[in-house]
Structure 1
């Protein structure tokens, strides 16, 4: 298992990056941290101690969050919520990195712990 801060950063950023699927822009977020947490809660156990394919509820939540975060403000809000929530979790970074492909979601970028939420567009 990797160090908590490294694993948490990768997992938090992975989940954030799921919401970057939409390219529209807005200045006011319609999504809340409670929405983000609710959608991604089914993934926590899998990302912490799972293996193989994620459970269907996890993929459903990740896809729901990707659909809900349709504006730049939503994506930035989701990123910050995930980073904040992830501080209390220890996640397997390899599962986090594989989550998009395992859930049938394509991402046009590389998942990185260096993602800056303020630069999400």
Structure 2
């Protein structure tokens, strides 16, 4: 329970800091991370993806309409992935498919967001 509380605080701090400083056209890092908050269980442990998680993923994808949006979302995801202590790359990369959406890059701490179109 303590590790989940700590993780929630890390996500919240990232949302506040990144939301204030990194606004992309139409979507902020705070919105990206807030939409992904219901996905933390899956990102850590795998298993079933919740409806709330998939709704958040779909919201991110539908709001990232331009190249700048997609690059901004990618950068937000990299920051979030780096802040999550037990980030599981395999689960993160499986998440879009489990929610029935396509993201044109890998969700990873090493993704080159500038290459996204």
TM-score by length of 2: 0.67
Task: Give the structure 2 partner of residue 35 of structure 1.
Answer: 31
Q: Which residue of the partner structure matches residue 3 of structure 2? A: none
Partner residue, 2:77: 82
- Counterpart CA distance in 2 for 1:94 and 1:84 is 17
Structure 1 residues 33 and 112: alpha-carbon distance in aligned structure 2, compared to 1, 3 A threshold: closer
Quick check: 1:44 aligned with 2:43? Answer: no
More helix by percentage: 2
1:103 aligns with 2:99: yes
Pick from 52, 59, 66 the counterpart of residue 54 of structure 2: 59
Matched with 1:120 is 116
Q: Which runs of 4+ in 1 moved over 3 A?
A: 109-114
Shift of 1:38: 1.3
User: Whose RCO is larger (CA < 8 A, sep 6+)?
Assistant: 1
Give the aligned length. 92
Q: CA RMSD in A?
A: 2.1
Unpaired segments ≥5 residues, structure 2: 1-23
